[in-house]
Amino acid sequence: MPKISNKGKQMPESPIRKLVPYSEIAKKKGHKVYHLNIGQPDIKTPEVAMNAIKNVDIKVLEYSHSAGFESYRNKLSAYYKNHGLPIDTADIIITTGGSEALLFAMGSTMDTDDEIIIPEPFYANYNGFSTASGVKVVPVISTIDTGFALPPIADFEKLITSKTKAILICNPGNPTGYLYSKEEMMQLAELVKKHDLFLIADEVYREFTYDGDVHYSVMNIPGIEENAIMIDSVSKRYSMCGARIGCIVSKNKEVMATAMKFAQARLSPPTFAQIASEAALETPQSYFDEVITEYKDRRDTLIAELNEIEGVKVANPKGAFYCIAQLPIDNADAFAQWLLESYDLNGETVMVAPAAGFYSTPGVGLNEVRIAYVLKKEDLIRSVEILKEAIAVYNAK
Ligand SMILES: Cc1ncc(COP(=O)(O)O)c(C=O)c1O
């Protein structure tokens, strides 16, 4: 029999999706499943975006430019400048989601066996992208006790070797909800300059900050223009996950020229979705004001409800729409599966993402889950009620 690659064998399963077969079993039994496991918002996509594709009159659905529509890149640059980010059209390549932008960033800056330092817990697919790129993830632990703040710079420095090429951060964080302060960003800037590293900042949740906190972008740090690479996406900003549009941004001309070769190899980003994404830039501010108010409300509800459960520890997220919760159980993987396979409260159960998959250090985060607050308030309240009962039943087994 022909053999599967080692790389293929090493590709990790997504902790967010691996329990899907069990949720399907629960649904077949007629149980309602509250999906707290996945960052699929229930927020409506802006009408301007949907109308743009409804009204489109295309005779030939052709390839676009490998860097994306020029009209879209121009408007995106204007959008960033309006938001205080000095990004020119030439600094942008449109990609098939932030996911492809991450692959281009790794492909353009790292060789096989090079190392990338990532504060953990981190977005689980960073493991997948790194494996696909042949890159080694070197985790630096951030803890629930500090709310997942940036680990001390000395912890990063201890891990830097001749193979280290980049530091990857997610800001605001998925799964932690942590928002790096300007001071933390400046510390990282100093570090990457000192060691000649790239600083890749995944900023796909940039708009989602609460309590008046302001997001400080990697593109705003003076003096690291050659080091900084920003990853962006329309998925969350406009609740357009299915569009599959994102971008890679950098002032470093060599990085962009290299990323462009990857972009050419895959020909172009999707045409219809670029039309929708370009139109989405016309979304009125009132849309974001409403969405942010809604998420803040959901966050406050979720955190308050979780804190009511004895033995649960949770860090208050400052941005994005996730939190990590420590539960009074021994193994979140087994618990999450049991919730779907063997438990229901009046025909309802919840699906959570076991957090161990968001760490690359083995044995860490075993009693933690990631919860996405992408459901409406009543559903969040009901979900936590189910979770509370379930923990009691599980521990009494
Ligand atoms: C932190 C982070 N980066 C990147 C992505 C990928 O997003 P996209 O849909 O743009 O590929 C996600 C999706 O959930 C994410 O949470």
Pocket of ligand 1, candidates 125, 169, 206, 231: which has the most ligand atoms within 8 Å of its Cβ, to mutate?
125
Ligand 1 touching residue 239 (CB < 6 A): no
Distance 329 CA to ligand 1 centre (A): 29
Average pLDDT of 121-132?
95
Ligand 1 touching residue 173 (CB < 6 A): no
Q: State the CATH number of the domain containing residue 65.
A: 3.40.640.10
33 lies in the same domain as 99: no
Average pLDDT of 16-26?
89
Structure confidence by residue, pLDDT tens digits, 195-228: 999 999 999 999 999 999 999 999 999 999 999 9
Local confidence band at 344 (pLDDT 50, 70, 90 cut-offs):
very high
Ligand 1 touching residue 174 (CB < 6 A): yes
Examine residue 51 and state whether it is found in any structural domain, yes or no: no
Ligand 1 touching residue 98 (CB < 6 A): yes
Examine residue 102 and state whether it is found in any structural domain, yes or no: yes
pLDDT at 322 over 80: yes
90 lies in the same domain as 214: yes
Task: Report the nearest atom of ligand 1 relative to the CA of 99.
Answer: 11
Q: State the CATH number of the domain containing residue 373.
A: 3.90.1150.10
327 lies in the same domain as 257: no
pLDDT at 327 over 90: yes
297 lies in the same domain as 267: no
159 lies in the same domain as 112: yes
pLDDT at residue 14, rounded to an integer: 79
Ligand 1 touching residue 202 (CB < 6 A): yes
75 lies in the same domain as 38: no
pLDDT at residue 372, rounded to an integer: 94
Local confidence band at 55 (pLDDT 50, 70, 90 cut-offs):
confident
150 lies in the same domain as 261: yes
The pTM (predicted TM-score) of the whole model is 0.95
Distance 15 CA to ligand 1 centre (A): 14
> If you take atom 14 of ligand 1, which residue's CA is the nearest one?
39
What is the number of structural domains in the chain? Answer: 2
174 lies in the same domain as 314: no
The domain in which residue 391 lies consists of 6-44+286-395
pLDDT at residue 41, rounded to an integer: 80
pLDDT at residue 360, rounded to an integer: 87
Round to whole Å and give the CA distance between 138 and 163: 11
Share of residues in the chain with pLDDT > 70 (%): 100
Choice between 151 and 55, residue whose per-residue pLDDT is larger: 151
Structure confidence by residue, pLDDT tens digits, 350-375: 999 999 989 989 999 999 999 999 99
77 lies in the same domain as 105: yes
Examine residue 49 and state whether it is found in any structural domain, yes or no: no
Average pLDDT of 234-249?
97
Examine residue 70 and state whether it is found in any structural domain, yes or no: yes
Structure confidence by residue, pLDDT tens digits, 76-108: 999 999 999 999 999 999 999 999 999 999 999
pLDDT at 16 over 80: no
Among 280, 311, 334, the domain boundary falls at 280
